[in-house]
Structures are given as structure tokens and as C-alpha cells.
A and B are shown apart, each in its own frame.
Chain A
Amino acid sequence: MTGTVNTVLGPVPSADLGVVAVHERLVSVVPGAQFAYDVRIDRAEVFEAVAAQLRAFRAAGGGTVVDSTGMFHGRDVRLLEALSRATGVHLVASTGMGPEAMLGGYFLTPQTNPPTPWPADRFADLFTAEVTEGMVVPRVERRGLAGLAVTATTRGGRTATDESLLLGVARTALTTGVPASLRSDDVDDLDVVLKEGLPAHRVAVVADDPLAVVERGAYAVLTDPARVLELVDAGHAERVLLTTGGVGVSFGEDAPTASYADLTTALPRDVATQVLVANPRDLLAIEKR
């Protein structure tokens, strides 16, 4: 299946994506860390660090990195554009946010009486506009179109706002045709999205139980190549994705550094063609309904 994919530099045919690192965090900033007195974010340094990783990826045969941090965890659209131009790697950025604990007070305790948290439809409108009108550079401009909608749920059980976010992401994916991605420890979160009418092949899940994900027809995102091979052997080659599990540059919390280049040699060639090329291509292609 082919179509187009929203990259930060514009639409690209999905067949041109090549080897894809499909669920990455290029630059991660814990919300608020940008205001911390002891956190120094030097854009030139960030650029150099991420660009080096992307160049190594490209030299190893990589083609595309998908940034799944969403809109409120350090996403910087202008920096991503410059990185893509400088390295030749396609970059796909995401809209969305979550889980609830990562949201700003604007969504949780708005200036209304009572302070009712945002419902699903408002999240859907916010995320959809990032796919159709452009991603926000806060209070400045919209730039580029989001290529996917992401959220996550609270470990140990989703909150009411997590559920609104799941529905918001599902509706965004349904309306715009971009895929949805979730980070979730309970496959019931995936079922919430599926019940909303989003076909399973439009959803990728970073899950504790990947088998339950692939059995529902959604994509399971894994970080361990051995687990990928197990699922491939079990007949799920067309529903498995591999990602580094690392972060390009992280502020506000320690996180392992990603090596995108390592992905290109992590799997046997035939499996890699399916898992790193064909599956992301199919997932990321915008599917108009």
C-alpha cells in the first residue's frame, strides 16, 4: 500500500521513506524543564548531537525518523526542519500529548467554574488542526503538518482525561487519515481506540503485551530485536515495528541515548525489509476514508 506521508518538509511518497525508525524521541523536554534554573538548552548543541545521530543513520542506510513526542514534550518544528534539511533524513513529527500527568493546567483545571477537564472533542479539534493546518510554534505560527497523532495512558490504569486523549487521537486519525500511536500498559486502551471506529491497521502501540496488540490487528512497537523475531516466527511479521527505545537529546530526565544506525543491522535482511521498511510505509501513509 502506498500513499503520502506528512514530513516536516512536506508530503513525501510513502515508498520513498526507506528504513524507518518509527517511534522515536528526537528531542525530549519534560514539560517545565525549559524553565528550570539548572537546565540549559543550547539549540546549536542539540542540533549537532541529533544531526550526528541522523547522519550516522543515513550512512547506515536509514531513511526516515518518526518523532513521537507529541506537541508538548519538547517538539520544536523549526529545529526538526533544519535537521531534516541538513541530514537528508525524512523527519515525521507528531501531534497529541499524554498521559494526563504530562499535560498543562490549561487542559486539566481551566479557568471555568467548575474547572472541568477537556473532553475528547476538544482534544480532537486541537490535534486535527495540527494535521490539517500545521503544527504550532507556540504563540508564533503554524508550520508543517503532523504525520501522526500520539498519546499515552497512565501506568496502572487510565484516567478520565487519558480516555479523552485516546478518543481525541482516534478521532484525529479517523478525520485526517494519519495513523495513531499509543504508549499503554493495558490493551483495553487500544480497544477504546478501536471501538471509536479506527481500523486496527491504523494504530501502533508500545505495549507491555505486544501479542495482544498484534492479535487485534494493530502494530506492536518493540525495542528488543529478539522479541521482534519471536513475533515474526509466530506469523505476525506484518504487524511488528522496531524502535530504538532511546532519546536523541533529553532534558529534565535521564534517558538512554538512541542509536538509529543500530536499527539498520538489528534484524536479518528479509525481516528488516518487512519490519523496518514495509510496515512503517503502510502505517504512515495517509489513508483517506
Chain B
Amino acid sequence: MARVNTVLGPIPSEELGFVAVHEHIGYGMPGSELDTRWWKSPEQRYEETVPKLRAFHENCKPYGAATFVDATGICNGRDIPYYQSLSEKTGVHIVASTGFVGGDTALPFFERASVDYLTDQFLHEITVGIAGTGAKAGIIKVGVSRGFKMKELDLRIYRAAARAALATGVPIFTHLAVDVEPAIEVFHDEGLPLHRVLFGHADDGVSQGKVRDTWIADQGGRIGFDTFGYDLELPDPPFWGRPRQERLDHFLRYVQGGRVDSVLASADANCSPLGWPGVKGHTVNYLFEVLIPALREAGVDDDTITRIFVDLPAAFLSLQTPSPTTSPS
């Protein structure tokens, strides 16, 4: 049976339903918790978050259940007991991640850590639980530090993630798909098939011209169109925003060009951001309010939409022990 770790325990992948594969309950850079300008009362955090998750749950009903994959790694405000309460009260499955958004979000203790230690950290969070909660991570987050250049610490985290993914069968998703050659080298080196990796934010505005997305897809990697909704048409768009139509056209080239199985899609929205203002009005429900209608208008049929948001993520998230591509040396 294919299973997926959620914060309330493992569930069969058949129960996932509609999956938003790269989202955040709340994200903040490490240290932002010291700056009171961002603080919110617990009442405010629940008020900002619960209605979005309930709407997501309603929107997902035609697909069965609702699954929200939280991409907030260690040190960025990941808060498992909070996620558990949200999941229990709203009915949304929440998958938590181990790993780090990037080397520059790993605090000094982990910056000093070896590949072996980082591997053990990820293994523990996937097989035993996160921070004494009993909730097991369902996916590993890795990423590229600011500056579009893979750093040594980033790669140490990628290698540990590859080993933990091979040992446990959980997949990996990345923050940014730029400077991807060294990452792919690490995955090859460790023997992790690239279909176990979602190369995220391949669709964002600042990455364009720096992402070899078809090159990644040709090797079996999954391409993350996972910043849907960060549109430059917004009143105050973030620096990674992109013209709405341009992103959609990019996505459609995959979906209508025979590469639908290479994509996964999400909105990367914060329900209630922790250490930054967030982007007003942008929620996970963009997927239903804007993206799916736009796909239908472009002629994408319902089976394909179900494939993108139900079948492909279920296969990706299912714990599986992949056959190594090569024997690790």
C-alpha cells in the first residue's frame, strides 16, 4: 500500500485527493521571531489561516480530500503542533517537511553539521518524528541560497537529503531550480532517480533565463510550477513575481506539449506569514479561483487537471524505495 506521512499520521495515497504540493502555513527567516514588527497574536494567526484552509477544503471536495504540503523547513517557523491542530479542525491533510529551504536558512548548529549528521536529522524526522511530536515528515526540503549560486552548505544538505530519500522513500522538493547542474550531480552520485525530486520555483519571475527546465525534465526531474499567483499584475508584487499570462503560457507548453507528467503545480502562498508582510490576497485557493478556470479556458480537460493535482502528486508523495539509478560509490 502506498502511504504518505501527514502531521496526523500516515494515510493511504488514495486519500490525498487534491494536492497543493508547495505551500506554507507560515514562513519566516530564522531570527525574524526576534523582531516584534511581525508578531501576531494566536487569535490573529488562526483568524488568518483557518478560513483559507476551510475554503481550500471546500474547493477540493470534487476531488475527494484536500492535501496541503507545507514547505517550511527546519528553522523557518515550522510549527508541528499548530499544524496538527489546524489539520484536525479543518479536515485538510497537512504534510510537513524536514530539511531546509536553503543553506542560508540553516542556523549555525546545522551549518557546522556533517552530511552524516544532516542525514540522521532528516531520517529521524521522517521515521521517528519531528521535535517530539510524533508527526513524521513526508518530504524533504532543500534549496539554493540567495544569489542564484549553489553554495557548499546547500550541496551538503542536498546530499544528506538524497541519502535520506533513498533510505526512507520520501521525495525531495527544492527551493529554486537555478544552478541545477551540481544538484543533479549529487542526485546521480547518490543514486536517487530524478522523478523523486521536484525542482521548485522553475516558474518564478527572477529565475527566468536561469532555469534549464526542459533539460531537467528530459532527465526525469519534476518541474515545479509552484509560484502560481505571484503575478506582476498585483498591486504590490514581490520581486519574484512574473506576468500572469507568461507563467500560464510556460505551464501550457508542458501540459499541452506532451510533458504533463513532468509538472506539479502549487501557489507557494502563506496562510499567515511569520517574518515578512506576505502578499495580500494571495492564497492557496488561487489554484481554484484563477488557475483552473484559466486552464479550462485554454482547453485543458478535467482529466488532465485531475492528473496534475491528484494523480501525479500522489505518485510523487507516496513513500517508495526507488531502485537506485547507479550504485553509489
Q: Which residues on A are within 8 Å of B, measured CB to CB? A: 30-33, 35-38, 71-72, 101-115, 126, 129, 136, 138-139, 142, 252
Closest to A34 in B: B109
Task: Mark each residue of chain B from 199 to 233: 1 if its CB lies under 8 Å from any CB of chain A, else 0.
Answer: 00000001000000000000000000000000000
**B125→A37 contact, CB < 8 A:** yes
Set A37, A106, A108, A114: member contacting B124, Cβ < 8 A:
A37
A190 → B minimal CB distance (Å): 25
Set B29, B34, B111: member contacting A72, Cβ < 8 A:
B34
**A138→B29 contact, CB < 8 A:** no
20 A-B residue contacts at CB 8 Å? Answer: A30-B108, A32-B106, A35-B74, A35-B75, A35-B107, A35-B109, A72-B31, A72-B34, A104-B30, A104-B31, A104-B32, A105-B29, A106-B31, A106-B35, A108-B104, A109-B146, A113-B239, A129-B36, A136-B34, A139-B274
B318 → A minimal CB distance (Å): 24
Set B31, B109, B121: member contacting A30, Cβ < 8 A:
B109
Shortest Cβ-Cβ A-B pairs, 9 listed: A104-B31, A32-B107, A32-B109, A106-B31, A104-B30, A138-B33, A106-B29, A113-B239, A37-B124
Given A37-B120, A37-B125, A109-B146, does the pair A31, B33 have CB atoms closer than 8 Å? no
Task: Mark each residue of chain B from 143 to 185: 1 if its CB lies under 8 Å from any CB of chain A, else 0.
Answer: 0011100000000000000000000000000000000000000
Best-buried of A33, A35, A106, A139 by chain B (most CB within 10 Å): A139
Task: Mark each residue of chain B from 18 to 46: 1 if its CB lies under 8 Å from any CB of chain A, else 0.
Answer: 00000000001111111110011000000
- A106: B residues at CB distance < 8 A: 28-32, 34-35, 275
| New contact pairs (6) apart from A37-B128, A104-B107, A106-B29, CB-CB < 8 Å | A35-B75, A35-B107, A35-B110, A36-B109, A110-B29, A126-B35
- A139: B residues at CB distance < 8 A: 33, 39-40, 274
Best-buried of A105, A115, A129 by chain B (most CB within 10 Å): A105
CA distance A13 to B129 in the complex (A): 49
CA distance A38 to B32 in the complex (A): 25
- B121: A residues at CB distance < 8 A: 36-37
- B276: A residues at CB distance < 8 A: 111
Best-buried of B29, B34, B106 by chain A (most CB within 10 Å): B34
CA distance A106 to B101 in the complex (A): 13
CA distance A56 to B5 in the complex (A): 49
Given A33-B109, A104-B107, does the pair A109, B29 have CB atoms closer than 8 Å? yes
CA distance A114 to B239 in the complex (A): 9
Contact count band on B: 35 or more
CA distance A46 to B266 in the complex (A): 43
- B74: A residues at CB distance < 8 A: 32, 35
CA distance A32 to B110 in the complex (A): 7
B224 → A minimal CB distance (Å): 19
Set A35, A114, A138: member contacting B131, Cβ < 8 A:
A35
B253 → A minimal CB distance (Å): 27
- B30: A residues at CB distance < 8 A: 31-32, 104-106
Closest to B45 in A: A139
CA distance A45 to B107 in the complex (A): 25
Closest to B123 in A: A37
- A136: B residues at CB distance < 8 A: 33-34, 36
CA distance A38 to B121 in the complex (A): 8
**A115→B146 contact, CB < 8 A:** yes
B117 → A minimal CB distance (Å): 9
- B120: A residues at CB distance < 8 A: 37-38
**A101→B108 contact, CB < 8 A:** yes
B130 → A minimal CB distance (Å): 9
B180 → A minimal CB distance (Å): 20
- B112: A residues at CB distance < 8 A: 30
CA distance A33 to B33 in the complex (A): 16
Closest to B239 in A: A113
- A115: B residues at CB distance < 8 A: 146-147
A244 → B minimal CB distance (Å): 23
CA distance A72 to B30 in the complex (A): 10
User: Is residue B285 within 8 Å, beta carbon to beta carbon, of the partner chain?
Assistant: no
User: Is residue B105 within 8 Å, beta carbon to beta carbon, of the partner chain?
Assistant: yes
**B109→A31 contact, CB < 8 A:** yes
CA distance A101 to B106 in the complex (A): 11
Closest to A71 in B: B34
- A101: B residues at CB distance < 8 A: 108, 111
- A104: B residues at CB distance < 8 A: 29-32, 34, 75, 107
CA distance A111 to B146 in the complex (A): 9
Closest to B105 in A: A105
Set B39, B40, B75, B104: member contacting A32, Cβ < 8 A:
B75
A121 → B minimal CB distance (Å): 14
Task: Mark each residue of chain B from 66 to 110: 1 if its CB lies under 8 Å from any CB of chain A, else 0.
Answer: 000000001100000000000000000000000000001111111
